[in-house]
Amino acid sequence: MSVPLRRSLKDSLEQDLNNMDNFLEKLGPLSGQGREPSSLPHDPVGMRQQLQEELEEVRARLEPYMVEVHERVGWNLDGLRRQLKPYTTDLMEQVALRVQELQEQLRLVGEDTKAQLLEGVDEARGLLQELQNRVMHHTHRVKALFHPYAQRLVTGIEHHVQELHRSVAPHAAASPARLSRCVQVLSRKLTFKAKALHARIRQNLDQLREELTAFARASTDSAEEGPDPDPQVLSQEVRQRLQAFRHDTFLQIAAFTRAIDQETEEVQLQLAPPPPGHSAFAPEFLQDDNSQARSKLQARLDDLWEDINYSLHDHDFGHLGEP
């Protein structure tokens, strides 16, 4: 946006502040401010149409500015998503690597293993007890190895969200206080979800350990009561349980990545809301709970009013340069 166009838009918005005052005054009977609570106007359809016309006029004047703000904020939020992607990619790579290691460490296929299983019940029982011990040791070790990656994700979220705050501040239409609130909420939500993801990975490892040790115990009991266990069957069972762990953990990491997208999209709508004439901005007046609809509209107009005043009086339009 060129400097003359910014100045023209700013002059136009300043000229429209009185019009916005008149528009908000028209909402007075709806919100009941300064008077006894009243019912809906006698002609609610006509009132709704009049308000929509007013909103359309405001939307037409604000849209060029709001579209640019929306794009600037969105560009910075895309940057946050790109910065967090390596952390989730590292987690997925670690899951695949640790599953491969566990598969090697718990492998039971081989001539030595087969010969040991055929030597008798005591030898088979000893081998299966060794398998249980290895399961306990290596799953505990893998759990410890995941901790620094999970901690790095939490630290990365805190760091990059603060960077987002600094980079969005010159472009956001929101007041500094509202911007700070939005960023803090985003940081808390993503940090909570990252810690929950780490907890789920730990739970997956605990479940894997319990399943494999239970399977080894059951195989020991079978060896005492029947034919010698087949090492191929044992290895296949271990492999299937490991692949199930890998699959479930990958799904949870992917769900966390989608949550990052959803939370950042919500922040974009909060910091760069849709134009006032948009259906997402103006709730329906003829809902069952009309007071809730009126309160929602009034709250959104208050946010818009606060942001417009900040942008016109305290914000330097020259910051809206190219990224």
How does residue 285 score in pLDDT terms, banded at 50, 70 and 90?
A: very low
Segment 54-83 shows an average pLDDT of 79
Q: What is the pTM of this model?
A: 0.70
How does residue 26 score in pLDDT terms, banded at 50, 70 and 90?
A: low
Top mean pLDDT of 6-10, 181-185, 231-235 is at 181-185
pLDDT at 205: 94
Helix axes 44-105, 231-271, angle to 10 degrees: 150
pLDDT at 104: 87
Residue 97 identity (one-letter amino acid): L
Side-chain half-sphere CA neighbours of 303 within 13 A: 21
Residue 98 identity (one-letter amino acid): R
Residue 275 has pLDDT above 70, yes or no: no
Residue 315 has pLDDT above 60, yes or no: no
Cβ(101)–Cβ(299) below 8 Å: no
Residue 25 has pLDDT above 60, yes or no: no
The two tokens of residue 261 are 């997208």
pLDDT at 8: 52
Residues 6+ apart with CB under 8 A from 27: 51, 294, 297, 298, 301
Mean pLDDT taken over the chain: 75
Name the percent of the chain lying above pLDDT 90: 33
pLDDT at 286: 44
pLDDT (tens digit, 9 = 90+) per residue, 141-160?
999 999 999 999 999 999 99
Residue 80 has pLDDT above 90, yes or no: yes
Residue 256 has pLDDT above 90, yes or no: yes
How far is CA 44 from each of CA 40, 49, 109, 284, 312, rounded to the nearest angstrom?
Answer: 6, 8, 79, 11, 34
pLDDT at 23: 55
How far is CA 288 from each of CA 84, 157, 234, 250, 285, rounded to the nearest angstrom?
Answer: 43, 41, 62, 44, 9
Q: Which of 47-56, 226-235, 243-252 has the lowest mean pLDDT?
A: 226-235
